[in-house]
Amino acid sequence: MNGWFHGWRAAVRIARRDAWRSKGRSFLVLAMIALPIIGVSAANVTLRTSELSVAEKADRTMGAADARLSDAGYGGVPIYQAPNGQDTMPVKSYEDQPYPDGDADTAKAVPAGARVLKDTSGTAKVRTEHGSLHVNVRELKATDPMAHGMVTLLDGRFPQKDDEVAVTGQFLKESGLSAGSRLTVRNMDRTYLITGAYELPGDLAANEVNALPGALLTPLDQALEAQGMSGTGQNTTYLVDVPGPGGFTWNMVEQANTKGVKVESRAALLNPPPRSEVKLYQHPDWVDYDSSGEANTAMLASLATIVGLAMLEICLLAGPAFAVGARRSRRQLGLVGANGGDRRHIRSIVLAGGLVIGAAAAVVGTVLGVALTVALRPLLEDWLGKRFGGIDLRPLELAGIALLAVLTGLLAAIVPAVTASRQTVLASLTGRRGVRRSNRILPVVGLVAVLLGAAIALYGSVVTDQFILVAGGSALAELGVVALTPALVGLFGRVSRWLPLSPRLALRDAVRNRGRTAPAVAAVLAAVAGTVAVATYQVSSEAEHRAGYEARMPSGAVSALLTQGDGRDASALRDAVRRDLPVDLTADLGRLTVGRAGCEMYSEAKGCGYVEVVTPKVNECPLWVTDADGNSASDHMTPAERRKLGKDWRCTAQAGSIGESGLVVGDASLLKVLRIDDPKAEQALKEGKVVSFHRPMVDQKTGKLSVRLVPDRGEANEAAAAEKEPPGKVVALPAYQAPDSVESYDVGGIVPAAAVRQAGMTMAPLGAYHSTDALPSSRQRQKLDQDLDRLGADVDLYVEEGFTGEKSIVLLALTVFAGLITIGAAGIATGLAQADAEADLKTLAAVGAPPRVRRSLSGFQCGVVALMGVVLGSLAGLLPGIGLRLTERRQSEKWYSEMLDQGGMADAPYTPVVIPWQTLAALLVLVPLGAALLAAVVTRSRGALARREAG
């Protein structure tokens, strides 16, 4: 044991001096290992620091109070609660009935003699410099000592009068307002003076307005009610300070629970009662929904995978550096051998190199990580949106992370260590490059892994449809390819015979020095394989999405529809769009209304109704018909019948969804905007007929389209619950059915204004469709957004841009990442090769190689490594990508046929397998080319010339 220790100490000393002597290489490896360590340790510290202690959390939720009482929302029936004050449940079991609903009187639950602070919150819309903003309003006397810790004053002061407010810093930033300006609340004739800015430590991104109790929400509610609009949704909780040292005890909590009030108590949070005393946990209906254990396992597994892959990648990148180090100090190792060191000692010297650099990287990485976190704390807090507690360093976790660095260093040095120890002492001393026989076991293991992995993946994608099998098999096969790399690199050497001089030299050199080439190639391979696999999958599914994309309008068209309000803002909206966007044609749209004026869409207010299309019985899809008992007709059909019906027009036709009914009020200009070229439809509109794009809507016998004018939505809902037809007058309108080939997008039918009047219906403006000359630019759209903000109306603005791939950024990032890894790995291999090739370059110069050969050689050395890596990686990546897609295809085909059997209908699934040519081209051509050029550029062409000293 002691001897072992001393042996290691000598090894570490030698390794330390070696590392110091070749500073460049050591620094490179150190940086590679330390970088992820910096990231992980910074993440660890950030995570731990942002995780608040229970006491810190309590400070933020209840300030200096002992407890916060709030309504459990069960209408005041007795409840059980968990000590955290969040999980609750009524005492009584409501097996089949719904839970009671309603408000409890929270104030009643406050124990006698306690001091109370009301904390009421609601929402409001306020005017800003740019338009309007939805904000949270909090009525709380923030200056009360009990509120201390919940809010932090940044600037100015908290409100003292009823017409004063304080706002969050975030709100000031977003609204463009500042302290001293006046805040206007929409739908209310009052303004408030902004006296100061504050922040919520737990939510820095909150847009909040603080007012004195009763100063804002109550008058706003009154104003809203007067205008028939929904209220602010006030919700009041009570901060409670009880006399006595025990705080708000668990007993008092249970007391409050009997009144349907839940309590977050500091005492219960800090010293939770034993589980046996918590009645909630004893309740038979209680299910612990905390499934975080499972989620954690999955997250840990994926985290471990990522860290594992990163370590593998780093080992592959750093390995060659150690190999070259070992090669450099071969004579020294030989001397150790000649002086009685055995293989174990030589191994330990090279391993100690990994240990030394790993340990240095561990120290540097963790220290920098922690320092970075501390230095960047304000930025991190902003980014995460909450203030941290005290910096929380967990020595054990940090040590674990540091250990990871040491482990990485050691792992990277293992293969070179074994290789170095295998060399005979004589070969080491004479510097004779012995015959390089590559390891025979590794390729066999690799081949077995490839075959086994491929078989599993094949089984997975052909016989079953288990993703996990495909993914697992592919991963195994890929690891196998990595193990096979040295052998494959050897195969590449075969082609060198027919290459011109520089590439031949580079390739031969790479093949002969597999010790440094193979790990670099493997590193490239792993990165590229992952990228190509994801790219294949991504491009294929994007093709699928593109095929499945349904445009809402003709390409380039703009829809600007009001989603709320009675349509007053429609003309202003239309003007804004016409002003800001390159609009060509505009078609104003209206919606059919029933009931009193001023009703919003989907409003359930009294006296507000809606229009619905009555589909004639013969046009209904038989699959959906239900009999009196509520049984579906399709239950009695055979799969064949269902399949047949699945293709029937009554079942396949798509109804429009615009407005409430799919019908809009419009004229011939709408046809133009929708690019519908049908003179008959135009004619029909002129004649006051409805144009239908949905065949089942029109009764073919009468040629009419019927709508039901439902006067009150509430009544209609009751009727529906009773399975009755909703009340309302049915009006039949003369209609023209457009051919099936016409694409009408969202519009189910167009009702001309004349028909509306004729049938005695009412209408309200809905907005407009616009066609454009050119796709609106981002700048134009920003301008419009600003104008719409100023308008203050709720607008659904949609610009039809056709299909845009959403995740192309991910793909690009992956490609760039793989490219960087490739260039990095190839660069490292090249640097090492160059260091090795100094003698050869001298010879070349003496033989009369032009100066540029030095450059081109290093370029080719880099390119060769990159090319081998990307070629192997692309092959290794395409297979799992294609395999996954094939599995998906099988799966969706299975689903489709099952669905057809059950009478569902859908388009036949389209699961294409698309080769990501762009990514492949970038990786196969651009990246090696770029790597080669880069290497050539950074290589000095001068310097190889042997200026031998006179001797």
Partner 1 sequence: MPSPQPVLQLQQLARVHGTGATEVHALRGIDLDVHPGELVAVMGPSGSGKSTLLTIAGGLDTPTSGRVLVEGTDITTAGRKALAALRRRSIGYVFQDYNLIPALTAAENVALPRELDGVSARKGRTEALAALEEMGLGHLADRFPDEMSGGQQQRVAIARALVGDRRLVLADEPTGALDSETGESVLGLLRTRCDAGAAGVLVTHEPRFAAWADRVVFLRDGAVVDQTVRSGADSLLAGQGSGRGGRGQAVER
Contact footprint for partner 1 (CB under 8 A): 432-435, 498, 500-501, 504-505, 508-509, 512, 839-840, 842-851, 853, 945-951
* Contacts for 493 with CB less than 8 Å, ≥ 6 apart: 507, 508, 510, 511, 512
Tokens of 498: 């027919």
**Do 802 and 555 form a contact (C-beta atoms < 8 A)?**
yes
CA–CA dist 951, 931 (Å, integer): 41
Q: Which is nearer to partner 1, 821 or 932 (CB)?
A: 932
Pairing of strands 690-692, 749-751: antiparallel
Place of tokens 């609204």: 175
Among left, alpha and beta (phi > 0; psi -120 to 50; other), residue 688 is left
Least separation in angstroms between residue 948's CB and partner 1 is 6
CA–CA dist 713, 604 (Å, integer): 6
Q: Which is nearer to partner 1, 779 or 948 (CB)?
A: 948
Q: Phi and psi of 726, rounded to 5°?
A: -65, 150
Place of tokens 């975080």: 292
Q: Which is nearer to partner 1, 709 or 853 (CB)?
A: 853
Q: Which is nearer to partner 1, 382 or 836 (CB)?
A: 836
Q: Which is nearer to partner 1, 157 or 328 (CB)?
A: 328
Least separation in angstroms between residue 415's CB and partner 1 is 22
**Do 262 and 88 form a contact (C-beta atoms < 8 A)?**
yes
Q: Which is nearer to partner 1, 524 or 864 (CB)?
A: 864
- One-letter amino acid at 836 equals D
Least separation in angstroms between residue 502's CB and partner 1 is 9
Q: Which is nearer to partner 1, 670 or 865 (CB)?
A: 865
* Contacts for 165 with CB less than 8 Å, ≥ 6 apart: 159, 183, 192, 193, 194, 195, 209, 210, 211, 215, 216
332: exposed, middle or buried (C-beta count within 10 Å: 0-12, 13-18, 19+)? middle
Least separation in angstroms between residue 507's CB and partner 1 is 9
Q: Which is nearer to partner 1, 630 or 951 (CB)?
A: 951
Q: Which is nearer to partner 1, 60 or 854 (CB)?
A: 854
Cα separations in angstroms, 943 against 838, 841, 844, 946: 10, 9, 12, 8
| Angle made by CA atoms 134, 139, 141, in degrees to the nearest 5 | 140
Least separation in angstroms between residue 884's CB and partner 1 is 41
Q: Which is nearer to partner 1, 786 or 941 (CB)?
A: 941
CA–CA dist 296, 603 (Å, integer): 43
Least separation in angstroms between residue 498's CB and partner 1 is 8
CA–CA dist 810, 919 (Å, integer): 12
Q: Phi and psi of 942, rounded to 5°?
A: -95, 165
Q: Which is nearer to partner 1, 575 or 836 (CB)?
A: 836
CA–CA dist 320, 326 (Å, integer): 10
**Do 132 and 789 form a contact (C-beta atoms < 8 A)?**
yes
- One-letter amino acid at 121 equals S
Q: Which is nearer to partner 1, 512 or 686 (CB)?
A: 512
Cα separations in angstroms, 902 against 426, 632, 654: 79, 12, 19
Least separation in angstroms between residue 521's CB and partner 1 is 17
Least separation in angstroms between residue 514's CB and partner 1 is 12
Least separation in angstroms between residue 344's CB and partner 1 is 28
Least separation in angstroms between residue 302's CB and partner 1 is 43
CA–CA dist 151, 139 (Å, integer): 12
**Do 797 and 560 form a contact (C-beta atoms < 8 A)?**
yes
**Do 480 and 876 form a contact (C-beta atoms < 8 A)?**
no
Q: Which is nearer to partner 1, 508 or 704 (CB)?
A: 508
* Contacts for 305 with CB less than 8 Å, ≥ 6 apart: none
**Do 821 and 527 form a contact (C-beta atoms < 8 A)?**
yes
Least separation in angstroms between residue 841's CB and partner 1 is 9
Q: Which is nearer to partner 1, 697 or 944 (CB)?
A: 944
808-836 helix and 501-512 helix, angle to the nearest 10 degrees: 90
CA–CA dist 335, 343 (Å, integer): 12
**Do 242 and 263 form a contact (C-beta atoms < 8 A)?**
no
Least separation in angstroms between residue 504's CB and partner 1 is 8
Least separation in angstroms between residue 843's CB and partner 1 is 5
Least separation in angstroms between residue 488's CB and partner 1 is 19
Q: Phi and psi of 914, rounded to 5°?
A: -115, 130
In terms of Cα–Cα distance, which of 541, 536, 544 is closest to 814? 536
Burial letters 105-120, b for 16+ CB under 10 A, else e: ebeebbbeebeebbbb
In terms of Cα–Cα distance, which of 41, 472, 110, 456 is closest to 265? 110
Q: Which is nearer to partner 1, 340 or 848 (CB)?
A: 848
Q: Which is nearer to partner 1, 243 or 434 (CB)?
A: 434
Least separation in angstroms between residue 537's CB and partner 1 is 40
Least separation in angstroms between residue 582's CB and partner 1 is 59
Least separation in angstroms between residue 517's CB and partner 1 is 12
Least separation in angstroms between residue 512's CB and partner 1 is 6
Place of tokens 């009763």: 214
Q: Which is nearer to partner 1, 501 or 730 (CB)?
A: 501
**Do 64 and 149 form a contact (C-beta atoms < 8 A)?**
yes
Three-state SS at 48: helix
Q: Which is nearer to partner 1, 742 or 849 (CB)?
A: 849
